[in-house]
Structure 1
Amino acid sequence: MTAVTFAQPGADANDGVAFELAEFIRDAANNAPRSLQTTLGPSEAGTPCDRRMAYKLAGWQQPNGGGDPLASVIGTGFHTWAAEAFSRPELGGRFLVEQHLTIAPPLIPGGHCDLYDTFYDRVLDWKCVGQYSYDKYRKEGPREQYRIQAHTYGLGWELAGRHPREVGLVIVPRQSARLSDIWVWTEPYDRQVAVDAIQRVATVNQLVSVLDPHHHPEAFGLIPAKPGHECTYCPYYRPGSKDLGDGCPGDLPPTT
C-alpha cells in the first residue's frame, strides 16, 4: 500500500485555498451589519478627531477599508460566544445581553450594549485587543473614546429605566491563553460624560450642515483633525490626499 503524501494546496494567504478562504472572510467582514452602519454609534461618539466624525455624519464615502479584518472577526466571534455564555438559563436572568438601547436619535440613534449586570447595575463592554493595546491600557487606563462609549451606554440604560451605578470595560488579550489575563476597568457612571459627548456630536453636525461639504468638500479642511497613528484605521484616511473630498491625508507624525 502506497502512503499518501499530504500536499498543502496553498502556502499562505497569497495563494490557493488560503487565499480563497481569506477572501471569503474579508467579504463577510466588509458586509457585516456593523461595517455597513451609516449612522454614528456609541463607539464613535467619543472619537477624538472632529474631522473623522464630520465625514461620518456627512455620510461620506470611505476610501480606506481599515486594513486586515481578522482582529475584528476574532473579536466578533468572542462577543458571540460571550453573549451565549451569559444568557444561560441557570444564571437566572442576572445579565442583560446585547440589548438595543436608544440614546440620542437622530445623531446617535442607539446601539447594542454587550452586558448589563443587574446585581450591581453595572454596564460592561468587551474589548478584545492585541498585546500592545493590552499593555498600554493596563499601564495608562483605557482610551478616552472607550470610556465615553461606556458612559453613553450607561445613559442608554438610564433612559430605558435602569439605574446604572458603574460602567466598565473588560479587556481580553487576543494573544493570551489564560483567563487570568483578563483585565477589567470600572468607574462610577457619570451621565455628564455622555451628555458632553452628545453635545460635541451635535456641534460637529451643525458645522457639517453650515459648511455643506457635499458641495464644498474642501470645507472639511476647516474641521480640525487629530492626526496620529490611529489614522491608519480610519475609514476616511487616504495617504497623501490633496483633495479632502477623496479622503483625509491624516498628517501622520513621523515614526522614530
Structure 2
Amino acid sequence: MTSQAPSVAAFMASVNPSAVSHSGNDAEAVKIAAELREVVRNAANNAPRSLQVHLGPSELGVECDRQVVHKLTGQPDTNHVVDPWPSVVGTAVHAWLADALTAADPARWIAENRVTPFEGHAGTADLYDARNQRVIDHKCLGSTTHDKLRTQGPPRHYYVQLLLYALGYIRAGYVVNSIAIAAWPRTGSSLAGLYVWHHTITPEDWVLIDQVLTETNRRKDYAALVQAGQLGLDQVPRTPSGGCYFCPAYRPESAHDGGPGCPGQNTPK
C-alpha cells in the first residue's frame, strides 16, 4: 500500500508552537532571519550616503543646530534605535523610479542629477521635469509621515531641500518655476496612495534660502569650536523639531549616564 503525503492540516498540527516566533517558525528560521538582518544593517550603515560627512541639501534645512554640528564634526553615531529598512526600501524605490521615468521619456525626465546650490554642499536631485520646468523629490513614507504631509504640508527640511535642488538646477543653467514632493506609500499595496505636494516658487522662498545659508555658516562656526575642544557638542543649541528619533546623535540614556549623544527634545541637558 502506497503511503500518502501528510495533509497540510496534519503537518501544521505537528509544528511545535513553542518553536514559532515573530521571526520564524523554528530555531533555524530565526537564525536565518538574524543573519539576513545583519547583512542588511551592515550594508546600510556602510553605504556611501551613510558615511559622508559633508552636508547635502537634504540636511541643510534641518532645524536643530546640534544635529547638524554632530554631522559636520564627524562624531560617531549614537542612535541605535532607528531601523535601516525604510531607508533600504526608499533607495530601491528611487532607483526603480529613475529607470522607469527616463525610459518613458528621456527628453522630459532628468533623474538622479548632481547639482550644487552652494559650494561644498552638492546633492543628487531625484527628478527634473523639463516640460514643466519643475524639480520633484520622491519620498517613500510610512503612514504617519504620509498623513502629516497631507494635512500639514512638508516639514521645513523637505521644503528647504527642494528649494536647494531648484537653486542647484538654476545655477546649472536650467529654468525652475516650481517644486513638488511625490510621496509614495511605503506601506499599503496601491498606487492610489501616491500623494503629491506642489508649490510655485516665490521671491520669499529665496529669502528663506538666504537664512539657511546664514544658519549653515553659524553651524560651521560651532563645528570649528567643537573640533578645537573649546565647546562640547552638548553645549550646541538644540531645537525641538519632532525628528529626534531619526537623528544620528540621539541617545536618550545620555540624560542619565552622562555618556555621549543627545537625549532629545523632551529631556533637559
Equivalent residue for 1:202, pick from 217, 232, 240: 217
1:237 aligns with 250
User: Over aligned residues, Cα RMSD in angstroms?
Assistant: 2.5
State the one-letter code of the partner of 2:56: G
Q: Which amino acid aligns with 1:203?
A: R
Relative to structure 1, is the Cα distance of residues 229 and 40 closer, same or farther in structure 2, using a 3 angstrom cutoff?
Answer: same
| Cα separation, 2, equivalents of 1:98 and 1:235 | 25
**Would the alpha carbon gap of residues 146 and 197 (structure 1) be closer, same or farther in structure 2, given more than 3 Å must change?**
same
Cα separation, 1, equivalents of 2:143 and 2:31? 30
Could you tell me how far 1:223 is from its partner in structure 2?
A: 2.3
Counting matched residue pairs gives 249
Task: Tell me if the contact between 1:43 and 1:145 (Cα under 8 Å) persists in the aligned partners.
Answer: yes
Q: Distance in 2 between matches of 1:13 and 1:205?
A: 44
The yes-or-no answer on 1:91 pairing with 2:105 is yes
- Please give the secondary structure, in 2, of the residue aligned with 1:116: strand
In structure 2, distance between residues paired with 1:104 and 1:91: 30
Alignment counterpart, residue 125 of structure 1, candidates 115, 137, 142: 137
Q: Find the counterpart in structure 2 of residue 182 from structure 1.
A: 194
Q: Tell me if the contact between 1:138 and 1:183 (Cα under 8 Å) persists in the aligned partners.
A: yes
Residue 180 of structure 2 corresponds to 168
Q: Which residue in 1 is equivalent to 2:27?
A: none
Q: Which one has the bigger helix percentage? A: 2
Comparing 240-249 and 25-34, the one that deviates more: 240-249
- Does residue 192 (structure 1) correspond to residue 204 (structure 2)? The answer is no
The alpha-carbon deviation at position 11 of structure 1 amounts to 4.3
Amino acid corresponding to residue 143 of structure 1 in structure 2: P
CA distance in 2, matches of 1:115, 1:227: 31
CA contact (8 A) 1:229 1:252 kept: no
229-238 vs 38-47, which deviates more?
Answer: 229-238
Match of 1:103, SS?
Answer: coil
Partner of 2:45: 30
User: Do the aligned residues in 2 keep the contact of 1:12 with 1:19 (CA within 8 Å)?
Assistant: no
Q: Is the 8 A contact 2:64 2:239 kept in 1?
A: yes
Residue 159 (structure 1) aligned with residue 171 (structure 2): yes
Output the CA distance in 2 between the equivalents of 1:13 and 1:102: 44
- Give the fraction of aligned pairs with identical amino acids, expressed as a percent: 35
> In 1, Cα distance between the equivalents of 2:263 and 2:85?
25
1:10, distance to aligned residue in structure 2 (A)? 7.7
32 and 221 in structure 1: CA distance in 2 versus 1, 3 angstrom threshold: closer
Offset, 1:253:
6.1
Q: Structure 1: which 5+ residue stretches go unaligned?
A: none
* Amino acid in structure 1 at the alignment position of 2:65: D
Residue by residue over 1:56-113, the C-alpha shift from the partner in whole angstroms, topping out at 9 and shown as x without a partner, is: 112222111451111111111110110110110x41421100001122122x2x1110
Q: CA deviation at 1:187?
A: 1.0
For residues 92 and 40 of structure 1, the distance between their equivalents in structure 2, rounded to whole angstroms, comes to 29
The 3 A distance-change label for structure 1 pair 214 and 234 is: farther
TM-score normalized by the length of structure 2: 0.83
- 2:71 and 2:106 map into 1 onto residues whose CA distance is 40
- Correspondence for 1:227: 240
Q: Does structure 1 residue 67 correspond to structure 2 residue 82?
A: yes
Equivalent residues of 1:99, 1:112 under 8 A apart: yes
Q: Structure 2 CA distance, aligned partners of 1:244 and 1:103?
A: 38
2: CA distance, partners of 1:234 / 1:55: 10
* Contact 1:217/1:245 (<8 A) preserved: no
Determine the C-alpha separation between the residues in 1 that align with 2:37 and 2:186.
19
Indicate how the Cα distance of structure 1 residues 247 and 217 shifts in structure 2: closer, same or farther if over 3 A, else same.
farther
